[in-house]
Amino acid sequence: MFEFKREYIDELKALRVEAITRPERYFLVAATGDEVLDWREMAAHYAGARQFVIEGSDHGISEFEQYVDAVLEFCGIASAPAA
């Protein structure tokens, strides 16, 4: 069950970062098919950061396993060798 309360909106607003600093610390993975968030707004907010925009997909990036290696590389973690 999912619960959403009106007060959550103010809590989320309090966490908002108006502009990122040190964009090299960020790696945006966004999807043009995201049904919740607009990828263009995400790309603009994370301007200067490494960005990977997936054509299509969805909010959950259902095929995320295809992008894990790039995310791990960005985090400085070597991906596991193929079995």
- pTM of the predicted protein model: 0.80
Per-residue pLDDT of the chain (83 residues; tens, 9 = 90+): 889 999 999 999 999 999 999 999 999 999 999 999 999 999 999 999 999 999 999 999 999 999 999 999 999 998 766 66
Q: Which long-range contacts (CB under 8 A, 24 or more apart) does 45-53 make?
A: 45/19, 45/20, 46/20, 47/23, 48/20, 48/23, 49/20, 49/23, 49/24, 49/25, 50/24, 50/26, 50/74, 51/27, 52/27, 52/28, 53/28
CB 51 within 8 A of CB 67: no
Q: Residue ranges of the domains in the chain?
A: 22-83
Give the separation between CA 66 and CA 42, rounded to whole angstroms: 21
